[in-house]
Chains A and B, each alone.
Chain A
Amino acid sequence: MPQYLISVWHDEPYDDLDWASPDMQRRGAQVSEFNALLEAESAWVFGIGLRPASSATVVRAVGGDVSMTDGPYAETKEQMGGFWIIEAADLDAALDWAAKAAAACEGPVEVRPTEDA
């Protein structure tokens, strides 16, 4: 069955998330519910939230030389905050899951098909 990446995007950089805040509590509960639904419908492959983009390191290995730079690769305000890999019968089924994901996270998500395994 085709697999799709559903990534969650933040319009502004975020630092440590305050999981105790009512906003985060609500979203956390919604995401747990969404995850359970993915599992129940056998659509779940993997999914996880990410620490802030400021915690990222870019590593390059060119001709045996390894170099590292601090920060995310894409120097844009908008950064990925987490993602799922799901299995879905077709594009419309994947977009249905994406709509539920966007509602659960209360933010935009992006859907991309994976290369065929």
Chain B
Amino acid sequence: MPESLDAIFRREAGRCTATLIRVLGDIDLAEDAVAEAFALAAERWPIHGVPPNPGGWITTTARNRAIDRLRRESTRTDRHVAAHRLYVEDADGVAGDHAPELADLDAFVDVVPDDQLRLMFLCCHPALAPDAQVALTLRLLGGLDTGEIARAFLVPEATLAQRIVRAKRKLRDNHASYRVPRPAELPARLHAVLATVYLIYTEGHTATTGDDLSRVDLSREAVRLGRVLTELMPDEPEAVGLLALMLLTEARQPARTAGDGTMVRLADQDRSRWDRSLIAEGHDLVRDCLRRNQPGPFQIQAAIAAVHADAATAAATDWAQIVALYDQLYALRPNAVVALNRAIAIAELQGPVDGLAALESLDPAPLDDYQPYHAAHADLLARAGRPEAAGAAYQRAIDLSANPTERDFLRRQRAALADLR
């Protein structure tokens, strides 16, 4: 069966836009040109058939349309276009204001795999706020429209549209370059890209389910971006680690909700419903990372997910290994959330009293608005035989939860406390 236009669009839009931005030196021109080319495809392909290389067809058509338009408008806007171009590095990797002449544009259009990488680093530039990085990444690399992104993040469409317009304007006003960062800049810049992709993943993962079928699957989009990243940067262990983490987390997705839509905790999940092929792929990637021996936060989190995936039953989990991995993670990223997860793992390894002691030794200030902190506190208090205190902690967690499925789960946990009294 031929692929639907929609599926082709999803797959090719990011790559085409990335190349057109390099060719045209302007994000808006590139987006318009790609949209125009897809509109033409929607007219022609149903009649003439899908060309053998649909992405190439879109890129070439978009390029031709954009050049036609630039030629038509060139007398008026040449200076403007030149002044506002994004800087595109030449073959020697030198950024500069050598905007190609219109006649030279043909030479620029070869599809360069690095284009998508350039676009990722541009969308996730640290000079942009994280929510703008996410929106721009989904818009330009994911080919999602502003309405889809707005619904996915439950923000008004006008707010999201404004966020994207501002981000694009900031990059243009600041003469941002369209390039892959140099080795010295790479660790910090790559981290921003990985953090953005993971933010998209977690938003999709914790999203409310069922109440809005028109929401796009952000988790799937994040996994797709993660695959693109590892194809383009196969030697970056943290990129591989992020993909492994997402795949191993995604593998548990079928078991996270029961038949009636309620949430199921990791310990109570029916492990036969876990996706074995995703686990196998995630495991391979984790092993691949460990061999390189350049540990980083995403790789360690992936290793933790791999330990969970290894256990046939919750009781068989190697908690000693998980505590050791959290220790390693905390050494790299000493933050309150890592410390909280370590305390939860200690409760599994040594019992709820020790886990509670580890949790209560943390500074509560940075965790006070963090729902999982209160949920974990409540659970440990209940297991340590303190139902009254547990009830109060559950109440706090319920008040902080923005997700109906999760809230429902917490209410049931609180109701079960009555049996302990």
Contacts and interface: CB of A to CB of B under 8 A. Distances in A.
Interface of A: 1-2, 4, 89-95, 111, 113, 116
A116 B171 CA distance: 14
Nearest to A2: B175
B176 A90 contact: yes
B42 to A, nearest CB: 36
B87 A113 contact: no
A91 B97 contact: no
A116 B83 contact: yes
B174 interface: yes
A94 B174 contact: yes
Given A1-B97, A95-B127, A89 B174 contact: no
A62 B215 CA distance: 53
A15 to B, nearest CB: 33
Contacts of B176: 90-92
A2 B177 CA distance: 12
Contact of A91 (B83, B84, B96, B125): B125
Interface of B is mostly: loop
Interface of B: 83-84, 87, 95-97, 125, 127, 171, 173-177, 181, 185
22 contacts: A2-B175, A4-B174, A89-B87, A89-B95, A89-B96, A89-B177, A90-B175, A90-B176, A91-B125, A91-B171, A91-B174, A91-B175, A91-B177, A92-B176, A92-B177, A92-B181, A94-B175, A95-B127, A111-B174, A113-B173, A113-B174, A116-B84
A33 to B, nearest CB: 21
Contacts of A94: 174-175
Nearest to A114: B173
Contacts of A113: 173-175
Contacts of B171: 91
A112 to B, nearest CB: 8
Nearest to B176: A91
Contact of B185 (A1, A4, A92, A111): A92
Contacts of B83: 116
A1 B98 CA distance: 11
Nearest to B125: A91
Nearest to B79: A116
A94 B97 CA distance: 15
B359 to A, nearest CB: 35
B95 A90 contact: yes
Given A1-B97, A89-B96, A91-B174, 7 more contacts: A2-B175, A4-B174, A89-B95, A90-B87, A91-B175, A94-B174, A113-B173
Contacts of B174: 4, 91, 94, 111, 113
A93 B127 CA distance: 13
A90 B176 CA distance: 6
Nearest to A95: B127
B390 to A, nearest CB: 43
Contacts of B84: 116
Contacts of A116: 83-84
A44 to B, nearest CB: 18
A65 B175 CA distance: 40
A83 B89 CA distance: 29
Contacts of A91: 125, 127, 171, 174-177
Contacts of B95: 89-90, 93
Contacts of B181: 92
A59 B96 CA distance: 40
Contacts of A2: 175
A14 to B, nearest CB: 28
A116 B81 CA distance: 12
A111 B95 CA distance: 19
What are the 8 A-B residue pairs with the smallest beta carbon separation, nearest first?
A: A90-B177, A91-B174, A2-B175, A91-B176, A116-B83, A113-B174, A90-B87, A90-B175
B174 to A, nearest CB: 4
